[in-house]
Amino acid sequence: MKAVHFGAGNIGRGFIGHMLSASDYEVCFVARNPKKISMLQQRQEYPITLANRDQDTTIVNNVTAINVSEVDRVAEEIASADLITTAVGVSALGDIAEPIAKGIQLRMKNNNQAPLHIIACENAIGGSTRLKKRIYPFLDESTRNKAERYVSFPNAAVDRIVPAQNHKDPLQVTVEPFYEWVVHRPALLDGFKKIDGVHYVDSLEPYIERKMFTVNTGHCVAAYFGYLEGFKTIRQVMSNSTLRAKVRHVMEETGQMLIQKHGFNAQKHNKYIDTILERFANPNLTDQVTRVGRSPLRKLSPHDRLVRPAMQASEFGIEIPHLTSAMAAAMLFNDERDEEAMKLQYMIREEGVSTFIRERMGIPDEHPVHQNVIARYQELRGRKESTILT
């Protein structure tokens, strides 16, 4: 069985590629970094290390790589593949849509009727569906009709913390021991080879929202609260009892919504929160606040990890003072190395806070969450300016 994976970064190598190789897939990474591509081609293996006390290391083998710019080679790999996966970031799905489309075209031209599954392993709800919508405009009508029969785009939820890192070996990657990969089972075509360690479910939304609105929400909230206090790493944030409590309160608020919406067991969900907090505090991982908090415009968008759970909680009548405070903290994230953060600050200066919340976050003026975010923003900004003056 052969898998083509787009993205040879830390998540691609340390999570998806590792699991595919362990399930006896031949893995061809499609990447941009010439050095990593060359090393993967020459060595056909790389090490991953668990961020635990013993630093357990595993060798991932049966891998190679090609450059995404080699359009014909990428198409040939896809034409004969059994599985395509991605870990490029949801904003980059459009960049890989045309190469995948060319591979599907060649596959259909060659009359390859074996099932092809394309799974976007991104921090996004409906990532595979989004990728499909990007790919299909590059296909002619005949190819689209064939693809509907032989190509499927199962949505998925993925969870593993893999911080930015540097090693002597550019291919080595350190990952946390915990991982979760959930795939929507009804979208699988006959003949799919299951991946060891993947959880296949009939209803994906509860798992995606539980992960997005607990792990992703909590992680970025830790970054934004920590940034305002001058902390450099998530581990430092979690070592501060006051900030750790704030992060937990946010996760408890989103948890109330998830419990009401999806019927999760409250006791089990609280244990899930405990597990997530311990993962953030892992003493063997060093994750920068600026890395976790990067791209605040995306994280403040209407359907992402802050606004979406806030609006759903409001519909259930759940009070969310800590989540609105976290949204305000995100609006104050102004890391100069982050292009989105700088754009965010420019928008707020030019448009005003209320207009930003309405136009960019999608929260109407009359909505109570709108007014609460303004109040929290003014409070946090005043506190920050007072600290600077002091």
Q: Could you report the per-residue pLDDT of 180-190, keeping only the tens digit for each?
A: 999 999 999 99
Tokens encoding 321:
């003072």
pLDDT given for residue 163 in this prediction: 87
Q: Is 13 labeled as ligand-binding? A: yes
Same domain, yes or no, for 181 and 262? Answer: no
Same domain, yes or no, for 210 and 73? Answer: no
Q: Is 7 labeled as ligand-binding? A: yes
Same domain, yes or no, for 192 and 214? Answer: no
CATH number at residue 71: 3.40.50.720
Q: Is 112 labeled as ligand-binding? A: no
Q: Is 6 labeled as ligand-binding? A: yes
pLDDT given for residue 387 in this prediction: 66
pLDDT given for residue 384 in this prediction: 78
Same domain, yes or no, for 215 and 189? Answer: no
* pLDDT tens, residue by residue, 125-151: 899 999 999 999 999 999 999 999 999
Q: Is 10 labeled as ligand-binding? A: yes
Same domain, yes or no, for 174 and 284? Answer: no
Instruction: Report how many domains make up the chain.
Output: 2
pTM: 0.89
Q: Is 362 labeled as ligand-binding? A: no
Tell which of 169, 202, 235 closes a domain: 202
Q: Is 127 labeled as ligand-binding? A: no
Same domain, yes or no, for 195 and 217? Answer: no
pLDDT given for residue 389 in this prediction: 53
pLDDT given for residue 124 in this prediction: 85
Q: Count CB neighbours of 53 within 10 A.
A: 8
Q: What is the dihedral of CA 86, 275, 317, 217, to 10 degrees?
A: -40
Domain that holds residue 384: 205-389
Residues of the chain with pLDDT under 70: 386-390
Same domain, yes or no, for 223 and 372? Answer: yes
Q: Is 357 labeled as ligand-binding? A: no
Tell which of 160, 183, 202 closes a domain: 202
Same domain, yes or no, for 210 and 182? Answer: no
Tokens encoding 52:
């635990």
Tell which of 184, 202, 220 closes a domain: 202
* CA distances in angstroms from 107 to 112, 133, 157, 194, listed in the order given: 6, 19, 27, 22
